[in-house]
Structure 1
């Protein structure tokens, strides 16, 4: 006779590793968010949202590394560090996760170029959404905002490489 704990009710759902391997995606996104407190001297404030880029890279390259609800607490952590209004990254990051889920329902197979395009759309929407949530509409920051979006889009392949390397090592554990 089998007990409830011994029966596999979802046999095709990938198993999430336990312990340190489960914490690594969270820690890398948090480390990306911590980049905003590094003292940098810049003429134009175009620091990319590294935490969000890492979150997108984990979501697009290793789908089951982060749970669907993980965007909210990681966004709260980013809001506490970045100076954006509290709850803006929680909302925008969660909406990005929902949008990626909707896109994944339509696309059967994806390659890196499609991941980069999805990430670029998410980056543009979240940076523009953060602008409307954090700055008055009459403020002239559009040129700097465009530069920040382009730089952040160009950083996605680096974040994807970091996530792929970490994921390869994490799976071997």
Structure 2
């Protein structure tokens, strides 16, 4: 039978429903290693973390709370942080988003931006403290603050990209 388009009520592709969110976070975590950029300090925001937070904010019910474990391990393997850093911090961020989702029923764009920026800053600061426990505070602030500012400013872009990926994920055939 030759069909011109999707039938009414036809579900979206199951593989896209499951793979697109996970693949976007995993690719974003690995992307900084693929870019030909050499720097003495971190200049790129943690793109995997931003996609992870945006997916959690956009579709809180999509992933279980423990999804930070495997995705955080993947990020730890590519970021060079001590193994377990992103595992623990991403899981705590996931728990915090689920907590906020239960407490704030009507979230808007600025709520999501604030929650994502706050969690990204907390995760980056804690990761810097874990990676460099004996570094002076001034040195850590010089490393983390520019990256936190860039991350907070890029949250709307990542929310928009996550929405576009979600539209692709839910599109029927």
Structure 1 residues 111 and 17, CA gap change in structure 2 (3 angstroms): farther
Q: 3-state DSSP class of the match of 1:84?
A: coil
CA RMSD of aligned residues (A): 1.8
The aligned length equals: 159
Q: Is the 8 A contact 1:16 1:22 kept in 2?
A: no
Q: Name the counterpart of 1:26.
A: 22
Which residue does 2:56 correspond to in 1?
A: 59
Mapping of 1:79-94 within 5 angstroms?
Answer: 79-94=76-91
The question of 1:75 aligning with 2:72 is answered: yes
Alignment of 1:131-142 (within 5 A): 131-139=128-136, 140-142=139-141
How has the CA–CA distance of structure 1 residues 61 and 82 changed in structure 2, closer, same or farther, with 3 Å as cutoff? same
SS at match of 1:141: helix
Asked if the contact 2:60/2:98 (under 8 Å) is kept, the reply is: no
- Does the aligned pair in 2 maintain the 1:46–1:145 contact within 8 Å? no
Gaps of 5+ in 2: 1-10
Taking structure 1 as the reference length, what is the TM-score of the superposition? 0.85
Structure 1: segments with no counterpart, 5+ residues: 1-14
1:165 alignment partner in structure 2: 164
- Match of residue 96, structure 1, among 93, 96, 108: 93
Q: Is the 8 A contact 1:49 1:152 kept in 2?
A: yes
Higher RCO (C-alpha 8 Å, min separation 6): 2
Q: Is 106-115 or 44-53 further displaced after alignment?
A: 44-53
Shift of 1:108: 1.1
SS at match of 2:44: coil
TM-score computed with the length of structure 2 as normaliser = 0.85
Q: Distance in 2 between matches of 1:16 and 1:124?
A: 35
